[in-house]
Structure 1
Amino acid sequence: MAATFILRTDKTEGDATLFVRIQSRTPKINIRVSTGLEVDIEAWNKSLTSAKALTAFRKEEGKGKGKELYQKLDAISALIDSLIAEGIELTTEIVKSRMNDIVYAEQIEAEKKRQQEEAERLAAEQATNLNGFIEQYINECETGKRKKKGGTLNISPGTIKSYKGFKAQFDLYQTERFKVIDFDDVTVEFYNDFRSFLEDKKYSPNTVARMIKILKTICYAAENLKLIDASNIRTGFEVVYRDVDNVYLTEERIQQLYDLDLSNRPAWDKVRDVFVVGCLTGQRVSDYKRINAKMIVRLTDGHDYIKLKQEKTGNIVYIPLDDRVKAIIDKNGGAMPKVHDQKINDYIKDIGEHLKWTETVAIEEQKGSMEYTANKRFCDMLKTHTCRRSLATNMYKAGSSLSSIMAITGHANEQQLKTYLKLNEAEKSMLAMKDKYFTKLKVAK
């Protein structure tokens, strides 16, 4: 057993938090993590004096007693042994996250029961007004009653979070406008006023567009139940996404990043490995972070591919296996290093600065109705989504067709994909030079 439980306090009475200490020689682990479980200090210390005392403590029933406590501690020990056996690299964050399912099992179960009861109540009493339907719609997404288009996959947690964000803004709009919006009030006049409300809050154009898109999605669902005629919404509620000026890594910079010696910076090294894999596979961060050796398959053309089911869409894509991706997978024991998205966003900027990717880039930005040009360093614009843009752009520069790129990235249509192609005017002109028309001309060198 790799886990032992300790108190880290000088007090001799009262309650204190138990910590789990995880020690292992192979693999090498030595970390301490708070379990979040409180224990009576005197009773705990007494239980450690002998095997008989420990047995007695483990049998004590009642809230805060040893029997209930050790049920959780034994489950935590078994969990840690299982994680080590699976070869998962343990960090404080991973252990804490997985322990919470045990420590707060009762609360989690109670919340699930509450959601189920709420879903049953809403199902029994179909909402007939817009605010009630929005609440019901989100609840059905959370409980799995409402599925993605196609009817087999659950709505992703990220999408549900977006729905809740929309509901919060919709509620605030009604509060500030001193009115309650029902189905009959969803007119073009409302659309224009709701957009103005969001723009006054200084939300970006794409945030406003996302809010309008969610509203339309919910109204279409209500239309299926004949609660609203959504014809005016279908034609009059324009969803206007702005092409965001984001940078991408060229093939040369991806190779420079891959070749960088970070053996003395293990945190940077993990982020670099994950980021390079992202740039060479073109997936969303939720997908490229979980790429592993088990996903590698050989197709009938004799080449190796990564077979991946995309988390957001459920689509299966086959990504040609780059040698650098294979090397990174092997280097990390058959999987990606465990690192949080925010750490990737933070450290990749530092790594970019270390590589002197500090040239100034002029970016057109908009907050609310105000448009302006912001000058930013290239390295400061790097983030998890840069990877997806990098592969799409590099494939396009290399002459790949949009359909070929879509086969890898999983984009639903060319219009979506085109927003990812981040070429400046000079790069676009150099691509045009390769066109058959220009190859017929005599161009000065």
Structure 2
Amino acid sequence: MAVSFFIRNKKAKIATLFARIRSKAKDIDIKASTLLEVDVLAWEKSQESAIKRKNYRNDKNNKDFFNKLDLIEKTLNNILDSDTNVTNELVNKRIYEIVYAEQIAAEKERAEAEAKALEEEQATNFNGFIAQFIHECETGKRKKKGGTTNISPGTIKSYKGFQSQFKAYQETRLKVIDFEDLTIEFYNDFRLFLTDKEYSPNTIARMVKICKTICYAAEQLKLMDAANVRFGFDVIYKDVDNVYLTEERIQELYEYDLSNRPAWEKIKDVFVVGCLTGQRVSDYKRINAKMIVTLTDGNKYIKLKQEKTGNIVYIPLDYRVAAILDKYNGALPKVYDQKINDHIKEIGEALGWTEIVELDEQRGAMEYTAKKRFCDLLKTHTCRRSLATNMYKAGASLSSIMAITGHSSEQQLKTYLKLDESEKSMIAAKESYFTKLRIAK
């Protein structure tokens, strides 16, 4: 195994030097730019003999060049000697870090200085406070309400999404919104702005909710009075008719033989675990055998600390979840959320789950009824809805379902119970009033 250097364009006067990383044992042959330029004629002459190479290296004008080149060679050889998976991306990344080390260090120093200044300087306007709020979330200075848990990357991303939309709103309306401008008039106009951009009602509701969260944080620092926000900024969610998998379909999916499609099989297995545990995708993807505990009732449970809320839940260990974990030596295969969303639709289609489902949808101010295939509505969140709905159909109380899913309120949980009218009626028939009657068979 070795690292060598060469010039591709020998006809040029000045050319970029390239590195070649080879290892027959590991079947590696990668060519990458060193990002360093050389005088072609001088370089080619230096390669004619050991003495010329030595003289070329000892030239004081080449000192910085060879310091970087030597470090590139040493670093790449160390990577080859290690168990690291050597890729083009990794090689290019390491070279960039070496060649631009001074610039990277300067940028890091500048960013740290800005961050320190941001921490020391209390924001005095709403836009500044939004930036400060997000920065404190990113650094861990600001924790989840009433706890010591850091705010999740997903939540921080949603805060940045609000910041972007709020900035766009101000640019469109040609005005700057400060604390005193957060009135009911602003609320109505901001919702109109988002509606005109054809965002869904739930996206608009999420933006309003984030705005309220940031305002409450500002109020705690006595930067504003959030009375208008508290009593006038209604967060209006619209119930979305999402589908769920029945117990029968979960079993059908579990038994579906995809051994000839390894990528699909991994996604199928992770999805089944999600349907049988009722967690968010960020949680059910990381379930592993180390989380299994036995409680005083003698049964096995999955003890899981939810990433978003920090809550600890105990999920009864379904035999199918145990079998899937055993299949992968105790740890689920790593799959990306988008791959799950893409392939679970294809798997559903292959299983024949193609019946048409009618959905009430809204984009901007336009409401309409959409017709889609059942399989095309499957996504990572379907799992969470499936467990909640199946537990409810089986007669579980809302509090019992919440103990598993970790929902903070019954109202929030109810949005996950996806029953059609016939299913609701069959559940109602089990209530004490109807059990006293003789229902016709």
TM-score range, shorter chain: 0.7 to 0.9
Counterpart in the other structure of 1:289:
285
Out of 125, 129, 135, which is 1:129 matched to? 125
Counterpart in the other structure of 2:13:
none
Residues 1:355 and 2:358 aligned together: no
How far apart, CA to CA, are the structure 2 residues paired with 1:21 and 1:348?
A: 39
Give the letter aligned to residue 367 of structure 2: E
Give the letter aligned to residue 382 of structure 1: L
Residues 1:248 and 2:238 aligned together: no
Out of 142, 148, 151, which is 2:144 matched to? 148
Counterpart in the other structure of 1:323:
319
Change (3 A) 1:417 1:123: same
Counterpart in the other structure of 2:190:
194
Unaligned runs of 5+ in 2: 11-15
* Shift in Å, 1:62: 4.0
What is the correspondence of 1:335-414 to structure 2 with a 5 Å cutoff? 335-414=331-410
How far apart, CA to CA, are the structure 2 residues paired with 1:157 and 1:18?
A: 38
* Shift in Å, 1:181: 0.7
Alignment check: 8 A CA contact 1:147 1:153 kept: yes
Q: Deviations over 1:215-253 (max 9, x none)?
A: 111111111111100011100000011111100000100
* Shift in Å, 1:410: 0.8
* Shift in Å, 1:320: 0.9
Counterpart in the other structure of 2:435:
439
- Select the structure of larger CA radius of gyration: 2
Alignment check: 8 A CA contact 1:364 1:374 kept: yes
Out of 62, 67, 70, which is 1:67 matched to? 70
Give the letter aligned to residue 270 of structure 1: K
Change (3 A) 1:15 1:362: farther
Give the letter aligned to residue 127 of structure 1: A
Alignment check: 8 A CA contact 1:17 1:38 kept: no
How far apart, CA to CA, are the structure 2 residues paired with 1:91 and 1:346?
A: 28
Change (3 A) 1:196 1:91: farther
Counterpart in the other structure of 1:86:
none
Give the letter aligned to residue 253 of structure 1: R
Residues 1:217 and 2:217 aligned together: no
Residues 1:262 and 2:258 aligned together: yes
Aligned residues: 418
* Shift in Å, 1:192: 0.4
Out of 110, 116, 123, which is 1:120 matched to? 116
Structure-2-length-normalised TM-score: 0.84
How far apart, CA to CA, are the structure 2 residues paired with 1:19 and 1:122?
A: 44
Give the letter aligned to residue 212 of structure 2: K
How far apart, CA to CA, are the structure 1 residues paired with 2:327 and 2:129?
A: 50
* Shift in Å, 1:293: 1.2
Alignment check: 8 A CA contact 1:363 1:374 kept: yes
Change (3 A) 1:290 1:173: same
Structure-1-length-normalised TM-score: 0.84
Q: Deviations over 1:397-445 (max 9, x none)?
A: 1111111111111111111111111001010001111111111111111
Out of 168, 180, 185, which is 2:164 matched to? 168
Alignment check: 8 A CA contact 1:358 1:379 kept: yes
How far apart, CA to CA, are the structure 2 residues paired with 1:243 and 1:5?
A: 61
Give the letter aligned to residue 409 of structure 2: N
Give the letter aligned to residue 329 of structure 1: L
Alignment check: 8 A CA contact 2:289 2:330 kept: yes
* Shift in Å, 1:80: 3.9
Give the letter aligned to residue 326 of structure 1: A
Q: CA RMSD in A?
A: 3.5
Alignment check: 8 A CA contact 1:6 1:21 kept: no
1:388 match: secondary structure: helix
Structure 1 residues 151-160 or 100-109, which shifts more? 100-109
Alignment check: 8 A CA contact 2:295 2:301 kept: yes
Unaligned runs of 5+ in 1: 25-29, 82-89
How far apart, CA to CA, are the structure 1 residues paired with 2:227 and 2:424?
A: 40
Change (3 A) 1:306 1:186: same
* Shift in Å, 1:330: 1.1
How far apart, CA to CA, are the structure 1 residues paired with 2:89 and 2:78?
A: 14
How far apart, CA to CA, are the structure 2 residues paired with 1:129 and 1:248?
A: 45
* Shift in Å, 1:257: 0.5
* Shift in Å, 1:266: 0.7
How far apart, CA to CA, are the structure 2 residues paired with 1:21 and 1:413?
A: 58
* Shift in Å, 1:148: 1.4
Q: Deviations over 1:65-119 (max 9, x none)?
A: 34322454366457745xxxxxxxx898xx9699969975968876665443222
Residues 1:420 and 2:423 aligned together: no
